[in-house]
Amino acid sequence: MKLDRVEAAAPARRRPGLAVPAAAPVEPCEDTIFLRGIRVEALIGVYEHERHAPQPLVIDLELGLQHARCCASDDLRDAVDYGQVLAAVRRLAQVNQAVLLEAFAQNVADALLAGFELSSVAISVSKPAIFDAADSVGVSIRRRRASIAGAPA
């Protein structure tokens, strides 16, 4: 089922009485959420003709979490809400002032690390059909939160 609007999805709730086996002790490590193929438009580009009309961008995200609480609780309140992440990326594209894809990707990384309980982000931003000889051009960056609560610095 594909959703036209992110807000249309109501979070599922665990059914009462559903038996879940007790989890074996595990060593915490990083979990990853991904959103791939996010399509937005932004005024971006180094050439004057690119700054007259919004350019299509395709964004892939990998969001790192230190052993997400939602794995055990099965509760959206303990999770990173994918819809809120998507909305944040769309807002950033709409108000973008960056000229370079690298700077836009950094702005996305900064906003996601500041706005969500993430330990790291990996962001790829591409511009499709810019050159005849290439399907797309783009950049990928990885950023890690400087200090994670409860983890050694």
pLDDT tens across 48-91, in order?
888 899 999 999 999 999 877 888 888 888 889 999 999 999 99
Of the two residues 153 and 23, the one the predictor is more confident about is 23
1 pLDDT more than 80: no
Which pLDDT band, with edges at 50, 70 and 90, does 18 fall under?
low
Mean pLDDT of 8-22: 57
Helix (H) / strand (E) element for 92: namely helix 82-94
Do residues 143 and 64 make contact, with C-beta atoms less than 8 angstroms apart? no
pLDDT at position 30: 81
Residue matched to tokens 């036209």: 4
Residues in the chain: 153
Mean pLDDT of 132-141: 95
DSSP-assigned beta bridge partners for residue 33? 63
Sign of the CA dihedral 60, 33, 140, 97? positive
Q: Which two tokens stand for residue 41?
A: 């438009």
Q: Distance between CA 89 and CA 49 in Å, rounded?
A: 24
DSSP-assigned beta bridge partners for residue 124? 60, 140
pLDDT at position 12: 57
- In the sheet that 120-128 helps form, which strands lie side by side, from edge to edge? 30-42, 55-66, 120-128, 136-144
| Entry pTM | 0.77
Which pLDDT band, with edges at 50, 70 and 90, does 151 fall under?
very low
